[in-house]
Amino acid sequence: ETMMTQSPGTLSVSPGERATLSCTASENININLAWYQQKTGQAPRLLFYGASIRATGFPARFSASGSGTQFTLTITSLESEDFAVYYCQQYHKWPYTFGQGTTLEIK
């Protein structure tokens, strides 16, 4: 099973600043990685897939990159609605696994 590890577990950032979230795969997954945003009491929402393809509805202050085993999600100029839990997920091989999540909280 491909293990997905996200860091940090919790990230405290002030509005207007930049947040960088990391996701590491235990083996090479090429670019078969997705990111999801989940707000309290809501279903997750697809943010990126193909490691860097932004999903519909998210602004350009969200960006993502990486390949192989190392991936990064960057959010610049944080706004209040960006504070949430972010999950990465690999779909390179069965079983399809998620990271444990990074909580992005207001500092």
β-strand partners of 87 = 36
**Residues in the chain, overall count:** 107
Interface residues with another protein (CB under 8 A) are 32, 34, 36, 42-46, 49, 55, 87, 89, 91, 94-101
CA distance 43 to 51: 21
The label of the residue with tokens 């500092």 reads: 107
Contact between 65 and 72 under an 8 Å Cβ cutoff? The reply is yes
CB of 89 to another protein, least distance (A): 7
* Residue 63 or 92 having the CB closest to another protein: 92
CB of 1 to another protein, least distance (A): 8
- Residue 8: how many CA atoms within 13 Å on its side-chain side? 8
* Residue 1 or 17 having the CB closest to another protein: 1
CB of 9 to another protein, least distance (A): 11
* Residue 43 or 60 having the CB closest to another protein: 43
* Residue 62 or 91 having the CB closest to another protein: 91
CA distance 3 to 95: 10
